[in-house]
Structure 1
Amino acid sequence: MQKLKTATVTWITYNNCGTFLQAYALQHVVKSFGYENKILDDAPHLIDARPIYRKVLSRLKRIFVSGTRMKEVRSCYTSFREEWLETDKDTGDLKKVSDRYDLFLCGSDQIWSPIIKPVNPYFFLYFTDKKKVAYAPSLGSTKASDEWKSCVKPLLQRFSNISVREQQGASLLSVLLGRDIQAVVDPTLLLSAEEWKPLCSDRIMPVGRKYLFCYMLSFNARYIERARKYSHRHGLEFVLMGLHREYEGLSDNVLWGGPSEFLSAVCHADAIITDSFHATVFSILFRKPFFTFQRFKANAWNNQNSRIENLLDRLSIKGRFVKDDNIDDVPPIDYSKVFPLLDKERERSLQYLSSSLKN
């Protein structure tokens, strides 16, 4: 019997560890169910609403300022994409894309975020009348404008099955669409630590050298210094992921790499401090002591804290989300209590995805 051909829309152009790893995870699971799957190249369909002068400055900075370190990082992402992701690069003509596949999925990450303007209909599968399933796209925010709602409502009404990553997003869309919307776990949580280990690069530190891994999406000097002091107090070397040029020289051990290097750093770390949703996810999967610092102020217009708070609340470890610098009095994590909750959420989410693809 011929396998059903499925295609996924999600971000795979932006170089972000979590972005690439969630794309891999969903594809891995869909294929394990017995379907063919390709991730559609989103590059031809991205909307850059920045003023022209900002686009030019960004391009010039990338060419002349980024330096060899960031080129090294881009090379790591290219290697990961070629080795671990099955993509369809011929996506310029979306009518032909629609004809090639039997079913389409919206993958995870913040492809449905109300904060991102304008709304990009590509990530709502406007171009096809084939069956459409959404697995864990994230709104990222607890609020959405009336303009966003009126724009996405007719697009979402064409989906046969919709789930999102956060409960707040599920509630918002349930009211908007007048139907039940499920909250499911991020695709990365559908896989176990053992399933992630083959994707790890070689160890970033020799065996026996204990370290704290610091992964900060936003450059925050205070948070980085807090992490450094914690590592020194606990006798750990300080390893900082090089996500920005400004990180050069902030540690004797700055890690420049992509998703595989990130996974290896988490897998072998003795503690982790981050402000990232996906670094939080992998800290949990690999059963690490971790702290997640608040990245956005509670009243900020672009507040995306709900995705982390929702995850930690589901697993009854809300205390790991640090809203100030105090991490000295936080009790250790009892993973024997966390994983039964995670296993239950994982099984429920896998059942949703499996039944959505079948029905």
Structure 2
Amino acid sequence: MKIGMLTYHNTNNFGGALQTYALQSVINKLGVECQVIDYRSDVISKRYKVKKFFEIRGLKELIKYLINSRSEKKTKLCFDNFYKNYIKHSKDSYDKGNISKTNQLYDKFIVGSDQVWNLSLSGMDYTYFLDFVYENSKKNSYAASFGVSSLEEGESSKIEKLLFDFNNISIREPKPENFININEDKVVNINLDPTFLIKSDEWSSLSKNKNKEKDYILLYTVASNPEIFDFAKELSAKTGCQILYVHHTHKIRFDMNNIRDIGPQEFLGYIKNAKYVVTTSFHGVALSINFKKDFFYALSNSTNNFNSRITNIINLLDLSDRQIINGQNDKINEAIDYESINETLEFEREKSITFLKHIVNETNMEINNVNTINS
């Protein structure tokens, strides 16, 4: 049996790469072959494309290129090696024009996880709602994220129609506020991000450690919140820990150790060995919890933010006291008690894996029935 998995892949994004690895790995462990469909979304590909010199337009882009080009090339090489060694892709690549050919290759499709249903990220690409799949019984999602707490006007009704055809639906956060119920008889499951389905010992075996510091603060930002830098420096002053700032931007911080040319495995190593983690990233939070780290998080101040991804897992595990507000948090000297957190995670992990088992077992039954009829 073969399952085709559709997600944001081949991006130079730590969370995207690691959730892809995790979901494929877990499905494969259930005894089926899972391939990541090499679908090339124009918008997603453009967002992570490394510009060549002849593509530079204007002085501002030239300055960014001169600062970033070497780091970007090293980063891309790290990610390319990770995808080559740890992710099994479909033999062929696809776009909107020919992805319907995959209907002949896979017994089931699973879309997820990550923000695959965030239309502002995908450029209104409904391919991630499996609109190319002919048979409704093949359509499934796992922990698909909208990334927002409400939908734009006009989006909800179209999404409702597309999801009405799904066989099994799993999302990562509660439905957006203005999301119309798909069908009274259709259950919408809420499951963990795939990175939680893999335990810390397996992540540790995958990680690489490039850092020589014993005690350090890992600062990892993806959203706009300048107060997080003030907090990290305060934490550094109070603990004596050096700040290692992981990012892919051209904005160098001269008061911190900038790390800009690593891949997913090195990122895991930096989180695993950190004394503290300070982040605005959902996967920064998720992996900190997985490695049982003392972490602090800040939410984005921008109007169009994706904070719901973080607040959902924070509320589930009762960790809101780790939020940085106005550059402050009074829990600096308090370690996180992970006993009850681990109990909740284990319960949710089993529930999530049971959902994936249901898809696999359902598919096996269908194949056996077809074989019986044809025999």
Distance in 2 between the 1:94 and 1:242 partners? 34
Q: Which residue of 2 aligns with 1:199?
A: 206
**Alignment match of 2:319 (pick from 317, 320, 328):** 317
Pairwise CA distance, 1:107:
1.4
**Given residue 293 of structure 2, which amino acid in structure 1 is its aligned partner?**
K
Which residue of 338, 341, 345 maps to 1:342?
345
Tell me the number of residue pairs that the alignment of Structure 1 and Structure 2 aligns.
345
**Shift of the alpha carbon at 1:174?**
6.4
3-state DSSP of counterpart to 2:143: coil
Correspondence for 1:238 among 236, 240, 243:
243
In the alignment, structure 1 residue 31 sits paired with structure 2 residue 28: yes
* Higher Cα radius of gyration: 2
**Cα deviations by residue, 1:226-266 (Å, 9 ceiling, x for unpaired):** 21231232011111113212136442353521111110000
Task: Write the letter of the residue equivalent to 1:310.
Answer: N
- C-alpha distance 88-172 of structure 1, shift in aligned 2 (>3 A): farther
CA spacing shift, 1:247–1:30, aligned 2, 3 Å:
same
Any conservation in 2 of the 1:22–1:186 contact (CA below 8 Å)?
Answer: yes
In structure 2, which of residues 70, 73, 78 is the aligned counterpart of residue 76 of structure 1?
78
Match of residue 352 from structure 1 = 355
CA spacing shift, 1:153–1:314, aligned 2, 3 Å: same
TM-score (norm. length: structure 2): 0.85
Contact 1:134 / 1:161 at 8 angstroms: preserved in 2? yes
Q: Which runs of 5+ in 1 are unaligned?
A: none
Structure 1 residue runs of 4+, over 6 Å off? 55-58
By how many angstroms is 1:121 displaced?
1.7
Match for 1:46: what amino acid?
A: D
In the aligned structure 1, how far is the partner of 2:85 from the partner of 2:181? Answer: 41
* Contact 1:39–1:85 under 8 Å retained in 2: yes
* Match of residue 186, structure 1, among 193, 197, 207: 193
Determine the C-alpha separation between the residues in 1 that align with 2:42 and 2:294.
Answer: 37
2:264 corresponding residue in structure 1: 259
Q: Residue in 1 aligned with 2:367?
A: none
1:109 aligns with 2:114: yes
1:294 to 283, 286, 299: 299
Q: Report the CA distance shift for 1:284/1:117 in structure 2 as closer, same or farther (over 3 A).
A: closer
Deviates more, 1:123-132 or 1:272-281: 123-132
SS in 1 for 2:133: coil
What SS class does the counterpart of residue 11 from structure 2 fall into? coil
Within 5 Å, give how 1:17-96 maps onto structure 2. 17-43=14-40, 45-47=41-43, 59-60=55-56, 61=61, 64-65=65-66, 66-92=68-94, 93-96=98-101
SS in structure 2 at match of 1:295: coil
Three-state SS of the structure 2 residue aligned to 1:91 is: strand
Q: Which residue of 1 aligns with 2:233?
A: 228
Kindly report the root-mean-square deviation, in angstroms, between the aligned alpha carbons of the 2 structures: 2.5
Q: Is the 8 A contact 1:239 1:251 kept in 2?
A: yes
Distance in 1, Cα, partners of 2:143 & 2:178: 14
Pairing of 1:106-145 with structure 2 (within 5 A): 106-116=111-121, 118-130=123-135, 131-145=138-152
**1:118 CA drift (Å):** 4.2
Distance verdict in 2 for CA 1:116–1:238, change over 3 Å: closer
**Structure 2 spans left out of the alignment, 5+ residues:** 363-375
**Counterpart in 1 of 2:181?**
175
- Decide whether aligned partners of structure 1 residues 74 and 248 sit closer, same or farther in structure 2, where only a CA change above 3 A counts: farther
3-state SS of paired residue (2:181):
helix
Cα deviation for residue 159 of structure 1 reads 0.9
Distance 1:276 1:213 in 2: 12
- Distance, in Å, in 2 between the alignment partners of 1:256 and 1:104 is 34
Give the secondary structure class of the aligned counterpart of 1:146.
Answer: coil
1:13 is matched with which residue?
Answer: 10
> Is the contact between residue 38 and residue 89 of structure 2 (CA under 8 Å) also seen in structure 1?
yes
Contact 1:217 1:276 in 2 (8 A): yes
| Residues 113-151 of structure 1, C-alpha deviations (whole Å, 9 max, x = no match) | 154464212111111224011000101111012311122
Q: Is the 8 A contact 2:4 2:37 kept in 1?
A: yes
Identity in percent: 28
Aligned partner of 2:158 among 151, 165, 170: 151
Could you tell me how far 1:108 is from its partner in structure 2?
A: 0.6
